Structure 1
Amino acid sequence: MSIVITGATGQLGRLVVADLLAAGVPADGVTAVARSKEKAEDLAAAGVRVHIADYDDPASFADAFRAGDRVLLISGTDIGRRAAQHAVVIDAAKAAGVAQLAYTGVFGGPEADFLLAADHRETEQLILDSGLPYTFLRNNWYTDAPSFTADLAGILERGTVVSSTSPGARIATAPRTDYAEAAARVLREDGHLGKAYELSGDVAWTLDEFAGEVSRQSGQSIVHRSLTPAEHKAVLTGAGLPEELADVLVDVDAAISRGLLAGTPGDLSRLLGRPATPLADSIRGALAELDAK
Structure 2
Amino acid sequence: MIVVTGATGQLGRLVVEGLLETTPAGQIVAAVRNPEKAADLAARGVQVREADYDRPETLKQAFAAGDRVLLISSDTVGIRLPQHKVVVDAAAEAGVALLAYTGVLHSDTTPLALAAEHKGTEEHIRASGIPFSFLRNGWYVENYVSTITQAAEQGTIAGASGEGRVSTATREEYARAAVAVLTGENQENTVYELAGDVAWTKAELAAEVAAVTGKPVAYQDLPRDEYERVLAGAGLPGPVAAMFADIELDIAGGALAGTTGDLSRLIGRPTTPLRDTVTEVLARA
TM-score by length of 1: 0.94
Question: What is the CA distance between 1:120 and its match in structure 2?
Answer: 0.7
Give distance in 2, aligned partners of 1:163 and 1:154: 13
Question: Is the contact made by 2:149 and 2:281 (CA closer than 8 Å) also made in structure 1?
Answer: no
In 2 relative to 1, CA 103–287 (structure 1 residues): closer, same or farther, beyond 3 Å? Answer: same
Matched to 1:117, the amino acid is A
User: What corresponds to 2:32 in structure 1?
Assistant: 34
Matched to 2:214, the amino acid is G
Give distance in 1, aligned partners of 2:102 and 2:201: 25
User: What corresponds to 2:156 in structure 1?
Assistant: 160
User: What corresponds to 1:170 in structure 2?
Assistant: 165
- CA deviations on 1:239-265 (whole Å, 9 max, x unpaired) are 222222222211111111111111211
User: What corresponds to 1:142 in structure 2?
Assistant: 140
Question: What is the CA distance between 1:236 and its match in structure 2?
Answer: 1.7
Give distance in 2, aligned partners of 1:228 and 1:188: 46
User: What corresponds to 2:7 in structure 1?
Assistant: 8
Secondary structure, aligned partner of 2:14: helix
Give distance in 2, aligned partners of 1:154 and 1:57: 40
Q: Structure 1 runs of 4+ off > 4 angstroms?
A: none
Give distance in 1, aligned partners of 2:5 and 2:147: 27
User: What corresponds to 1:218 in structure 2?
Assistant: 213
Matched to 1:10, the amino acid is G
RMSD: 1.3
User: What corresponds to 1:185 in structure 2?
Assistant: 180
In structure 1, the gaps of 5 or more residues are none
Matched to 1:187, the amino acid is L
Matched to 1:81, the amino acid is I
Give distance in 1, aligned partners of 2:265 and 2:29: 27
User: What corresponds to 1:83 in structure 2?
Assistant: 81
Matched to 2:151, the amino acid is I
User: What corresponds to 1:252 in structure 2?
Assistant: 247
In structure 2, the gaps of 5 or more residues are none
Question: What is the CA distance between 1:221 and its match in structure 2?
Answer: 2.3
Question: What is the CA distance between 1:38 and its match in structure 2?
Answer: 3.1
Secondary structure, aligned partner of 2:101: strand
Give distance in 1, aligned partners of 2:50 and 2:216: 47
Identity %: 49
Number of residue equivalences: 285
Matched to 1:143, the amino acid is V
Question: Is the contact made by 2:103 and 2:137 (CA closer than 8 Å) also made in structure 1?
Answer: yes
Matched to 2:175, the amino acid is A
Question: Is the contact made by 1:150 and 1:286 (CA closer than 8 Å) also made in structure 2?
Answer: no
